[in-house]
Structure 1
Amino acid sequence: MASSSLARVAGRSGPDAPIDLVQLAANTLGNRDLEVQVLHLFKSQSSSTLERLNRESDAGIRRDLVHTLKGSARAVGAERVAIVCEALEGRMRDRADADTDGLADAVEEVNAYIRDLLDS
């Protein structure tokens, strides 16, 4: 697997980092410009998804939003966000108005990490 060109500027890397930079590099074929674009897109999309999730009342749309966010998280290597989304999807099948606070925390951790990465 390719090592991430962003890894050299990351303050936190390895298994405890909010984003698996090796996975990100593999998904972007080690193209640093593409890594940066994908991270910007994830940060923007994840924030807008959370806002929409908080406003949306339709249970099906809420589940779709969480499912889409899960896929995006996996694409950038944000496995904790993906795991939280997967658990939330299960809770949403049982209860349409399931609490999403854990998701907001996980997304904020990743987005703060992305800001740190891109500001380096």
Structure 2
Amino acid sequence: MAPSSMARVAGRAGPEAPIDLVQLATNTLGNRDLEVQVLHLFKSQSISTLERLKQETDNSVRLDLVHTLKGSARAIGAERVAIVCENLEGKMRSSTDTATEGLIAAVDEANRYIRDLLEG
């Protein structure tokens, strides 16, 4: 489904939205079913990643988790999450004790938005 993607029907679109729906539609070639699948995948992966990040003690593994989440965020247009990940990566390279509250907040915001999109 090309132009009838979520980017055209979502009410909370624009620069203030936690997910750029135009970017999402572009990355999924306007395929609404694929958009839904990718959003579900990001939501479950991001929750799992935050859980693993909380439990992991090896800084290089933590860095890989954040880097992977950054790529996933960019793929769905969750630029705030990607920026937080990028900043966190920089901090993690110089310190092993880095706070993840900002990342948790950004992911929660994106996941609430995804839930609202998919359920509402």
Q: In structure 2, what is the Cα distance between the partners aligned to 1:37 and 1:95?
A: 36
Cα 1:49–1:118 shift into 2, 3 Å: same
Q: In structure 2, what is the Cα distance between the partners aligned to 1:3 and 1:101?
A: 37
CA apart distance, 1:9: 3.6
Structure 1 residue aligned with 2:81: 81
Alignment of 1:20-39 (within 5 A): 20-39=20-39
CA apart distance, 1:6: 0.8
Report % sequence identity.
76
Count of aligned positions: 119
Structure 1 residue aligned with 2:54: 54
CA apart distance, 1:96: 1.3
- How big is each residue's C-alpha offset from its partner over 1:53-81, in whole Å with a ceiling of 9 and x where there is no partner? 00000000000000000000000000000
Mean CA deviation greater in 103-112 or 2-11: 2-11
Cα 1:79–1:94 shift into 2, 3 Å: same
Q: In structure 2, what is the Cα distance between the partners aligned to 1:3 and 1:52?
A: 37
TM-score (norm 1): 0.95
For structure 2, list consecutive stretches of 5 or more residues without a partner in the other structure. none
CA contact (8 A) 2:13 2:21 kept: yes
Q: Say whether residues 1:68 and 2:68 are aligned partners.
A: yes
Cα 1:4–1:26 shift into 2, 3 Å: farther
Mean CA deviation greater in 89-98 or 79-88: 89-98
Mean CA deviation greater in 2-11 or 79-88: 2-11
CA apart distance, 1:5: 1.2
CA contact (8 A) 2:7 2:25 kept: no
Structure 2 residue aligned with 1:110: 110
CA apart distance, 1:4: 6.4
CA contact (8 A) 1:3 1:22 kept: no
Runs of 4+, deviation exceeding 3 Å: none
CA apart distance, 1:8: 3.8
Cα 1:116–1:69 shift into 2, 3 Å: same
